[in-house]
Amino acid sequence: MSTESETVKAAAKPKRINFTQACVMAMDEAMAADPRVILLGEDIADDQGGGVFGATKGLSSKYGTDRVRSTPISEQAIIGAAIGAALVGYRPVAEIMLMNFITVAMDQVVNHAAKLRFMSGGQTKVPITIRMATGAGVGFGGQHSDMLEAWFAHVPGLKVVMASNPADAKGLLLACIQDEDPCLFIENTSSYGVSGPAPEPGYIVPLGKAAVAREGSDVTVIGYGTAVGKALLAAKTLEAEGVSVEVVDLRTIAPYDEAAVLASVAKTKRAVVVHEAVRNFGVGAEISAMIHENLFSVLHAPVERIGSAYSPVPFSPVLEKAFLFKQEQIEAAIRKTMNH
Amino acid sequence: MPSENIKEIDRTILIDIYRRANLIYRADEKFRATILAGELQIIYYSPRGQEILSAALMAAINQDDYLVTTYRGIHDQLAKGIPPKELWAEFSGKATGTCKGKGGPMHITHPATGVMVTTGIVGAGLPIANGLALASQLEKDGKVTVVCFGDASTNIGAFHESLNMAQIWKLPVIFVCQNNLYGEHTPQAMSTGCKEIIDRAPGYGIRGVQVNGNDAFAMYHAAREAVDYARAGNGPTFIEAKTFRFFGHLLGDDSHYIPEEEMSAAKRADPMPAFRAALLDRQIPEAELDAIDADIAAQIAEAAQFAIDSDYPGEDEIRHDVLEAEIAA
């Protein structure tokens, strides 16, 4: 029984969590609800630190190291083990420390996880979740920072998800774990400590559904992950200039919410697509093409695309900054659509 | 490896192995004839020469034990128990196939008989086999997972990651290298640094057994010991089973890269007539074997006709099984 003062103290607690806590919360809820949810990954058990970013902290102590397994540095073996267990009823969550490391396991992801449901004629399925951190801006250089979502979005059979805030991270990760298809859940390395309003227990965000992060009437900015925060800041700047910006947060990159994008752009008649990934051949190209195909006759301006520079992610802070997409670029793109 | 000190096998199991091996033999014979007659256009990896290996191996496990195999896998699939009709229809791309015609010869799945994955990627089955075995370990269901692959698979990274992981976690998995001495057109000695493939096992601390896979007695007992070891919770075994393939990498390949004397020696040692002779030596009546042969011939004829008579899948099928939800038209 809690005393009155403890209750007051608890109620007064600011209900905020960061991305790391959001991940822990999602996996904790999923594991509590389903004994067949297991975690695999390098250093994820508490004796090894609970994950290099702390995103599995406490889970091996709570659920045991049978269900929360630290693995050798063997990405193919990690993803293969997840796939095999998933084929017979488990819901494994594999942590691939950094997204670049998934390249080592591409065969397992692309040739197996993505295709076994189809190639078996629906006799088997692969309900795995692959969690990966990535993103530039933290000085990790060329092999620890790439945003590779477009590769996976191009493979039929995979779902690709990235949250823009901790509550969504919790809700989307839980949805990935419960989903019947293989999901890649992208976490942003520099955002783990970023906090936001805490969701209620059980909070889940359906896959394939975008959110309107900010309502507006003149131009729609479409993004996901770190792009959403920058788009919201750009929207504030433009508001001062008398431009009303709507921000659509995709939340699921593949399959993305076409209807939500089209509904917003049909209203604003202008669109800017933004992502941290390199602009060339990026997700922005697909969304831009889709908007043009559907709304060409009503658009007031061509769809603008913002992404990072065509370069490996550089190490030197000066170059890394030059590489990364910027809020100012989003603002300039919005103005361009307004002045067309 | 001559089979001195033969360890005997129960008569019913011998007959069982004979049945499985001859089902493979007759199916392969029919497939080759159909393909070479131009009646079926598929890439075909003949298992001729490897029948006894599969038959003895699968006789040592249960139907609900898991199997992961590779594109040269028809011998494993039939020996594991996939009904010939469904297999034939799948090889023919028909809707009545094991995978509705969506997988094809290199991607056979049939969970009802434990065939969980057939992969067309060299070495890729091993990491997945570990996952199946991990599930069994967590479920405590007593099942073992057998994963079959060729000698060339032991040179790819997935092999090494998998043996290591299986050993540290003591997974109930049996890695069976069907060493037919050639990876595509390249002999083992040209592609593999160690003298014997079994030499790889000690590097991972894994139990290793080298066996003549063409000797049903040796193969069966090696498999049984590995199965018992795994079911008892002791962990994985790596079996190198030596064998040979008579029709090259894929059907139509003239095997010019195999020295003539090597090929003729292998054919003289053909495991199929040798096994039949071994059964006759054990006073199993020839009429009993002939009756099995006749039954298998009828099954194969029925399977081939079933595939011919079956329909191709409807075009709409392309929108199903990509994701759980149907893809919009």
CATH code of the domain covering residue A63: 3.40.50.970
Nearest chain B residue (CA) to A112: B119
Chain B residues touching A117 at Cβ < 8 A:
321-324
For chain A, say whether B133 makes contact (Cβ under 8 Å): yes
Considering only the beta carbons, identify the residue of A80, A117, A180 that sits closest to B131: A80
Q: Are residues A96 and A163 in the same domain?
A: yes
CA angle B1, B2, B4 (to 5 degrees): 125
Q: Is B325 domain-assigned?
A: no
d(CA A184, CA A134): 12
Q: Provide the pLDDT for residue B4.
A: 58
Per residue in B143-158, pLDDT tens?
Answer: 999 999 999 999 999 9
Share of chain B above pLDDT 90, in %: 92
d(CA B310, CA B277): 38
The residue among B108, B161, B167, B175 with the most chain A CBs within 10 A of its CB, best to mutate, is B161
Where is A185: in which H helix or E strand?
strand A183-188
Q: Are residues A152 and A300 in the same domain?
A: no
Question: Is the omega angle on the peptide bond into residue A255 within 30 degrees of 0, that is, cis?
Answer: yes
Q: Is A205 domain-assigned?
A: no
Question: Is residue B318 over pLDDT 60?
Answer: yes
Q: Provide the pLDDT for residue A54.
A: 96
Q: Is B328 domain-assigned?
A: no
Reduce the DSSP state of residue A308 to 3 states and report it.
strand
Instruction: Calculate the alpha carbon distances from A267 to A210, A262, B247 in Å.
Output: 16, 8, 65
Question: Is residue A5 over pLDDT 70?
Answer: no
Considering only the beta carbons, identify the residue of B132, B320, B321 that sits closest to A87: B132
Q: Are residues A30 and A129 in the same domain?
A: yes
Q: Environment class of residue A211 by beta-carbon count within 10 Å: exposed (0-12), middle (13-18) or buried (19+)?
A: middle
Place A13 in a pLDDT band, splitting at 50, 70 and 90: low
8 Å CB contact of A88 and B103: no
The residue among A87, A90, A290 with the most chain B CBs within 10 A of its CB, best to mutate, is A87
Q: Is B1 domain-assigned?
A: no
Q: Are residues A133 and A180 in the same domain?
A: yes
Residues B189-212 have a mean pLDDT of 95
Last residue of a domain, one of A164, A197, A230: A197
**Among all residues of A, which ones are annotated catalytic?**
144
Q: Enter the DSSP assignment of B6.
A: P
Q: Is A286 domain-assigned?
A: yes
Per residue in A282-333, pLDDT tens?
Answer: 999 999 999 999 999 999 999 999 999 999 999 999 999 999 999 999 999 9
Where is A129: in which H helix or E strand?
strand A129-134
Tell me the backbone φ, ψ of residue B149, rounded to 5 degrees: -160, 165
d(CA A41, CA B270): 46
Residues B62-69 have a mean pLDDT of 98
Per residue in B214-233, pLDDT tens?
Answer: 999 999 999 999 999 999 99
Q: Is A5 domain-assigned?
A: no
Considering only the beta carbons, identify the residue of B107, B129, B322 that sits closest to A157: B322
For chain A, say whether B130 makes contact (Cβ under 8 Å): yes
Q: Provide the pLDDT for residue B6.
A: 82
The whole-angstrom distance between B93's CA and the closest CA on chain A is 11
Nearest chain B residue (CA) to A73: B161
Where is A201: in which H helix or E strand?
none
Q: Is B226 domain-assigned?
A: yes
Reduce the DSSP state of residue B281 to 3 states and report it.
helix
The secondary structure of chain A in percent helix, strand, coil, rounded to multiples of 5, reads: 40, 20, 40
Q: Is B10 domain-assigned?
A: no
For chain A, say whether B168 makes contact (Cβ under 8 Å): yes
Chain A residues touching B324 at Cβ < 8 A:
117, 125, 179-181
Q: Is B265 domain-assigned?
A: yes
Q: Is A4 domain-assigned?
A: no
8 Å CB contact of A92 and B131: yes
Q: Are residues A96 and A69 in the same domain?
A: yes
Domain count, chain B: 1
Question: Is residue A11 over pLDDT 60?
Answer: no
Domain count, chain A: 2
For chain A, say whether B269 makes contact (Cβ under 8 Å): no
8 Å CB contact of B158 and A80: yes
Reduce the DSSP state of residue A249 to 3 states and report it.
strand
Nearest chain B residue (CA) to A118: B321
Cβ neighbours for B303, distance < 8 A, ≥ 6 positions apart:
B27, B83, B84, B85, B87, B88, B89
- Longest CA–CA span in chain B (Å) reads 65
For residues A180 and A125, the answer to whether their CB atoms sit within 8 Å is: yes
Q: Are residues A193 and A218 in the same domain?
A: no
For residues B89 and B310, the answer to whether their CB atoms sit within 8 Å is: yes
Return the sign of the alpha-carbon dihedral for residues B63, B69, B73, B75: negative
Strand partners of residue A96: A132
Reading the block at residue A248, the tokens are: 């659509």
Q: Are residues A58 and A148 in the same domain?
A: yes
For residues A158 and A179, the answer to whether their CB atoms sit within 8 Å is: no
Per residue in B290-304, pLDDT tens?
Answer: 999 999 999 999 999
Place B254 in a pLDDT band, splitting at 50, 70 and 90: confident
Q: Are residues A242 and A185 in the same domain?
A: no
The residue among B64, B96, B115, B128 with the most chain A CBs within 10 A of its CB, best to mutate, is B128
| Chain CA centroid to CA A87, Å | 25
Cβ neighbours for B183, distance < 8 A, ≥ 6 positions apart:
B150, B151, B152, B155, B191
Q: Provide the pLDDT for residue A2.
A: 44
Q: Is B4 domain-assigned?
A: no
Tell me what the pLDDT averaged over chain A comes to: 96
For residues B49 and B271, the answer to whether their CB atoms sit within 8 Å is: yes
For chain A, say whether B318 makes contact (Cβ under 8 Å): no
Question: Is residue B2 over pLDDT 50?
Answer: no
For chain B, say whether A316 makes contact (Cβ under 8 Å): no
Q: Are residues A85 and A116 in the same domain?
A: yes
DSSP codes joined into one string, B22-38:
HHHHHHHHHHHHHHHTT
Report pTM.
Answer: 0.96
Q: Provide the pLDDT for residue A10.
A: 52
Last residue of a domain, one of A166, A197, A228: A197
Q: Are residues A71 and A106 in the same domain?
A: yes
8 Å CB contact of A72 and B157: no
Q: Environment class of residue A294 by beta-carbon count within 10 Å: exposed (0-12), middle (13-18) or buried (19+)?
A: middle
For chain B, say whether A112 makes contact (Cβ under 8 Å): yes
Strands (E), B53-137: 66-70, 115-119
Place A3 in a pLDDT band, splitting at 50, 70 and 90: very low
The residue among A34, A63, A73, A88 with the most chain B CBs within 10 A of its CB, best to mutate, is A88
In the block, tokens 């995979």 appear at: A158
Q: Is B199 domain-assigned?
A: yes
Tell me what the pLDDT averaged over chain B comes to: 96
Question: Is residue A26 over pLDDT 90?
Answer: yes
CATH of the domain at A239: 3.40.50.920
Per residue in B271-296, pLDDT tens?
Answer: 999 999 999 999 999 999 999 999 99
CATH of the domain at B305: 3.40.50.970
Instruction: Domain of residue A130: give its range.
Output: 11-197
Reading the block at residue A85, the tokens are: 């267990």
Place A1 in a pLDDT band, splitting at 50, 70 and 90: very low
Last residue of a domain, one of A146, A170, A197: A197
8 Å CB contact of A88 and B126: no
Reading the block at residue A323, the tokens are: 């590489």
> Comparing A156-165, A328-337, B184-193, which segment has the lowest mean pLDDT?
B184-193
Tell me the backbone φ, ψ of residue B27, rounded to 5 degrees: -65, -45
| Chain CA centroid to CA B240, Å | 13
d(CA B307, CA B51): 23
Q: Provide the pLDDT for residue B229.
A: 98
The whole-angstrom distance between A122's CA and the closest CA on chain B is 5
Instruction: Domain of residue B131: give its range.
Output: 21-311
Residues A87-105 have a mean pLDDT of 98
Torsion angle of alpha carbons A205, A211, A213, A219, nearest 10°? 170
Pairing of strands A211-214, A219-223: unpaired
Q: Are residues A257 and A118 in the same domain?
A: no
How many Cβ atoms are within 10 Å of B19's Cβ, its own excluded? 18
Q: Are residues A148 and A229 in the same domain?
A: no
